[in-house]
Amino acid sequence: MQETTRHTVALAALALLAAAPLSHAMDTASATAVQAATGAGARPALPQALTPMKVDDYRETDLWARIRSGYAVPDVNNNLVSRHAQWYSSRPDYLARISGRASLYLYHVVQELEKRGMPTELALLPVIESAFNPQALSSANAAGIWQFVPGTGKDYNLKQNMFKDERRGVLASTDAALTYLQRLYTMFGDWHLALAAYNWGEGNVQRAIKKNQALGKPTDFESLAELMPAETRNYVPKLQAVKNIVANPGQFAVTLPAIDNQPYFTTIDKTSDIDLTIAAQLAEMSVDEFKALNPQFKKPVITGGEQTKILLPKENAEKFHLNLASWGHALSTWTTHKITGARESIGSLASKFGTTPEVIRQANNIPAQTRLKAGSTILVPKTSTMAHADIAENIIDNAVVAFEAERSAKRGKLAGSQRFKAKAGVSTAKKRVARHTTSKRKQR
């Protein structure tokens, strides 16, 4: 595929991702609620049979062929596999949407699998988990292409705070997911059981194994399937179905869109705060395109730090560096403010910081008819005296925001009995922050 064509297809995929509803986990019906893992320390070694391969060992020009060449999970062949293969192959538009999304991330996932000597068909697992949508959110609050629930995310060092949720970030979540899968394979010595544990939890799989052992029954996946919930019973067959389609698309009358065997994005280290809109502007991308590659950032400002990375297509990364070198303005127009008491209303804060109540509500995802409780930390526009100050690391890690219903003007008490309280580190923004005007410069 020509590079311009690849770029056009990828931009279309970015637009699809940006438009995807936050409340939808995936295009298919089921989403995975990964059970909280324990003992997630150093990365466990894989059994000796799985030896990491050098990336240069793979010379295919098409990424699908590269994935096929690394298949290593034993096949499953049953009626469920046939049923799911029929379901996927009869929906070419759905497969095309997934392929478009996957084209942005799949090279990175495959490369990471090869580095660890893991079967490359595991790169297809996000098809089952999230349809390769990093904005996917299940009813169990599992997020990202690998569908980590908050607890498991913390176990695998995925930061979840007011400013970002690394369960959605492609780099961090892929590293965590592969480490988790390695650990499960080391625990069970069987990829089918490891996958079942990823979906159902290792404790449940261990109990099922012990139950069958006590009855003198086999303990392979298919023998344990009758003890599993329907989602887990279908989980491995779904992956096998997708694996079969990728292995031989023609057999299923499917045409897979070509994905070049080369990286789509590159990483930029960012050590100082930068507005998300300014970062997109410097990269010469739309805000929606930028967010699709960097879905982990939850606020209108990307905070700096040693581990802050921005993903950009290679050509946009070059534009970013060139434009940054000639940028003569502040990179960030946001800072934080801690609410000290009831006198600090959203209206008074807007007046103090030269903005509107709506901008403050949207930037902090504050529901209508609520007010901020004392102790909350919120984003506000910078004033001239703090133009070059970055948000402190301790604030980034510990900031929370809490709301309560506004008081009734007539009765002088709460207008409703319900109180809203949520740690911003696990809340999900449902509105795009409106572009705001500061006293010095209009952003975007």
What six digits make up the tokens of 161?
Answer: 């705070």
Contact between 15 and 289 under an 8 Å Cβ cutoff? The reply is yes
Q: Catalytic annotation on 393?
A: no
**What residues does 147 pair with on adjacent strands?**
none
Instruction: State the Cα torsion 33-195-89-226 to the nearest 10°.
Output: -90
Q: Which of 60, 112, 114, 129 is catalytic?
A: 129
Contact between 131 and 13 under an 8 Å Cβ cutoff? The reply is no
Closest to 222 (Cα-Cα) out of 238, 233, 207, 210:
233
For the annotated catalytic residues, the residue numbers are: 129
